[in-house]
Amino acid sequence: MTVEFFPVGNRTTAINALRFEQVDIVLAGPSEYVLMAERAEGTRPITAIVRPEYYSVFIAPTDSGIESLEDLKGKHVAMKDHGSTTGHIMPSYMLSQAGLDIDRDLRISLLDGARMQALASGEVDAVGTGVRDFAPFAAQHGEENYRIIERGQDMPGDPMVAGPHISAECISEMQEAFMNDPDGLLQAILAPGERDKYLGAEMVLVDDSAYDMVRESYALLGLSD
């Protein structure tokens, strides 16, 4: 089988490439997959790459008196960028699950790369972000000065997504091929570099229902079609 790579710059380009059969398979994040499944009916996951330490957390100063998500009512919270799975979508979902109205009960600022510095400077009371941001931040600013007040659910893996034009039989064959040599496929993905997020990851079979909590989060934020 000959494989040709087709670079895509953003999720919209990837979705359209699947819809118009410019590509057959896309490696996507959970949020991107949910959008693909909505906008390109018949899109299905083949397998997924489960990353280690892939979940959201809320971080607050140790001496802030903030012990739980409920304590964030009336506070100023920083998050990453709009649509980030662990830096926006899931933290917002966690707040909602804790009984907070994300539009009325607290102030949320999407600060992207400045979010952790905003916490360090006292500009915000807490940060909702991916767990991997915590260790280097705490090491720099003092592990005794900050703590994780809430941990989110483990995220589903990044799916290898088949376009609507790919038959169920072909998907089954690809699932078998991918799972027969998962390490080989992961090494091929890691080989170009700049993909450290997949170090220590594993390939697994996955069902569409694994992404339902992401769908709920999108609905909460009004991002669903």
Rounded to the nearest 10 degrees, the angle between the axes of helix 90-97 and helix 212-221 is 80
Q: Is residue 203's pLDDT more than 70?
A: yes
Q: What is the pLDDT of residues 16-66, one digit of tens each?
A: 888 899 999 999 989 889 989 998 889 999 999 999 999 999 999 999 999
Q: What angle do helix axes 182-190 and 168-180 make, rounded to 10 degrees?
A: 90
Contact at 8 Å (CB) between 51 and 86?
no
| pLDDT band at 225; cut points 50, 70, 90 | low
* 167-176: pLDDT as tens digits: 999 999 999 9
Alpha-carbon gap, residue 100 to 128, rounded angstroms: 14
Q: How confident is the model at residue 4 (pLDDT cuts 50, 70, 90)?
A: confident
25, containing H or E segment: strand 25-27
Q: Which string of DSSP letters, residue by residue, matches 153-182?
A: PPPPPEEEEEPTTS-HHHHHHHHHHHHHSH
- The pLDDT, as a whole number, for residue 224 is 63
| Predicted local distance difference test score (pLDDT) of residue 193 | 65
The Cα 39–Cα 103 span in angstroms is 27
| pLDDT class of 3 with cuts at 50, 70, 90 | low
Residue 88 has what pLDDT? Answer: 93
- pLDDT, tens digit, 9 for 90 and up, residues 59-94: 999 999 999 999 999 999 999 998 888 999 999 999
Percent residues over pLDDT 90 in the chain:
72
Nearest-CA neighbor of 118 among 168, 60, 161, 65? 60
All structural domains of the chain, each given as residue ranges with its CATH number in brackets, are 11-52+155-221 (3.40.190), 56-151 (3.40.190.10)
Q: What mean pLDDT is reported for the chain?
A: 92
- For 176: left if phi > 0, alpha if psi spans -120 to 50, otherwise beta; the answer is alpha
- The Cα 162–Cα 206 span in angstroms is 13
108-135 mean pLDDT: 97
Report pLDDT for 8.
Answer: 77
- Distance (Å, whole) CA 202 – CA 197: 12
The pLDDT of residue 7 is above 90: no
